[in-house]
Amino acid sequence: MNSIKTSVMAFVVAAAALTCGVVHAQAYPSKPVRFVVTYPAGGSSDVMARIIGKKLTELWGQQVLVDSRPGAAGAVGMEYAAKQAPDGYTFLLGNFGPVLANPLLNKVKYNVDKDFVPVSQITRAANILVTPNTLPVKNVQDLIALARKNPGVLTYATSGAGSMSHLAGEMFKRLAKVDIITVPFQGGVYSIAAVQGGHIMLMFSDAQPVMGNLKAGKLKALAVTSAARTPFTPELPTLAEQGIKGFAAANWWGILFPAGVQKAMVDKVSTDLGRALADAEVKKNLGMMAIEAVYSTPPQFAAFIQSERKLWGNLIREAKITGNQ
């Protein structure tokens, strides 16, 4: 009899805990939520967070407050978010640099696998291969031929070590079998100006900063770096289309929670992100920055991070890239 009573009590306790968890998830969020961004206010990550945050605010009836924590190429914001209470009221906008490239290139005080829970990838953006108008090339094959004819002469600009502009350039060097020289700059503005002025021969630039220059005819675009053409520059072929088989490099952003957040909360935010990203106004506003809305489940985003880490980790090791380049 005692064993029966014990079993019944255990069942009641378990059922009550489950019910409590469901009720708690249904009520969540019941107060404002902080949305940590690892880059300065006014940049693409900040604008993206405000676009997504506005829609989540509408869905939840609770304010989503963007909290910029810039510094050390995103490491400051990552460290800050990792230390927040796992109560579901702080989540992070992470992207390729601080989530993936920084830990591969530098010593950081956070471990993405241990300190965070992936929620969903939310966006991606292809880079664009641009050259000065004066460079005598019309397509990627022309560029490869010119580089092979002049090994160690052509230069390519990057917006910093470990940036997509840097790693896409290294991928191009290896897959196209060309010898071109890396020239790092402190940010995209200076590197784009150097290419436009003809001081640097090419760059795998973020799309948004060069769109105005391309429309004004101040730069020449040869290709997009993504696996498929983008809806923002459908006229531009990919590098793979132009003979560089296997070339695919695109920046991406996603939402992560500090480790320890309840699964019910993770699943709810993931589901609501899917609703937000399907909204026509959200897509339109992101598209103005040449950024495409995408969605993945928590397991899909976790698997994506692992695949990206393998891809870029192999390239970094093979090319012997360091955080000082």
Q: What average pLDDT does this structure show over 265-281?
A: 98
Question: Which pLDDT value is given to residue 323?
Answer: 77
Which of the 8 DSSP states describes residue 98?
I
Query: For the chain, which domains are there?
Result: 31-124+251-319 (3.40.190.150), 126-224 (3.40.190.10)
- Rounded Cα distance between 200 and 98, Å, is 27
Whole-model pTM: value is: 0.88
- Rounded Cα distance between 227 and 219, Å, is 23
Q: What average pLDDT does this structure show over 276-282?
A: 98
- CB–CB of 131/159 below 8 Å? no
pLDDT band at 250 (very low <50, low <70, confident <90, very high): very high
pLDDT band at 26 (very low <50, low <70, confident <90, very high): low
Please enumerate in sequence order all residues whose Cβ is within 8 A of that of 160, keeping only pairs 6 or more positions apart, or say none: 73, 166, 184, 185, 186, 187
Which of the 8 DSSP states describes residue 237?
P
Written as six digits, the tokens of 89 are: 């009221």
Q: What average pLDDT does this structure show over 206-217?
A: 93
Q: Among 19-23, 126-130, 165-169, 321-325, which is the least confidently predicted range? A: 19-23
pLDDT tens figures, 174-209: 999 999 999 999 877 889 999 999 999 999 999 999
Phi, psi for 195 (deg, rounded to 5): -70, -45
Q: What average pLDDT does this structure show over 80-92?
A: 98
Question: Which pLDDT value is given to residue 147?
Answer: 98
Amino acid type, 298: P
pLDDT band at 23 (very low <50, low <70, confident <90, very high): very low
- Rounded Cα distance between 161 and 180, Å, is 16
- Between CA 276 and CA 92, with CA 70 as vertex, the angle to 5 degrees is 35
Residue 11 has pLDDT above 70, yes or no: no
Q: What average pLDDT does this structure show over 109-124?
A: 98
Q: What average pLDDT does this structure show over 215-229?
A: 96
Helix or strand (DSSP H, E) at 222: strand 220-224
Report the mean per-residue pLDDT for the chain.
92
Residue 151 has pLDDT above 60, yes or no: yes
Residue 317 has pLDDT above 80, yes or no: yes
pLDDT cut 90: percent of the chain above it = 86
Residue 51 has pLDDT above 90, yes or no: yes
